[in-house]
Structure 1
Amino acid sequence: MSIIQTAKTNELETNKYLAYLFENLYKIQLFESDNQDPVKLNEKFKLMAHLLPWDDNIKTQFKMKETSR
């Protein structure tokens, strides 16, 4: 399942979530040269886990608004 489909499944505002995701993935600098250090790499993976669509903070921050009919 794609990240977009997973965001939709978790009822997130997809565009806002994706903008946040890409901005923060850039900040983690996953592809920097210090990634040879397993400790630093593990820290980066932990940071990435908090960006996933099913994370409680992400769900709270990007939850789609209820619309009335």
Structure 2
Amino acid sequence: MPARFAPVLFSALLSAIMVCIVSAFVLLTSQGVHEGFVAEWAKSCATTWPIAFPTVAIVAPWVRGIVGRLTV
């Protein structure tokens, strides 16, 4: 993949990883492991990721700028 797509790939991977972890945590703490857990988790990931991906793509450069100003 060309390096010019690195910000898009970063956003896609970070958002996918975070969505999987957070949705699993929320389901586990609210409902516990039950029959159909994996299907519900997959549905949660699929419906949440389209929101998380553009959010990370928009917010990540802003956060990098803040971190750059706060660190030496």
TM range (shorter): 0.3 to 0.5
TM-score (norm 2): 0.39
TM-score (norm 1): 0.40
Structure with a larger share of its residues in helix: 2
Higher Rg of the two aligned structures = 2
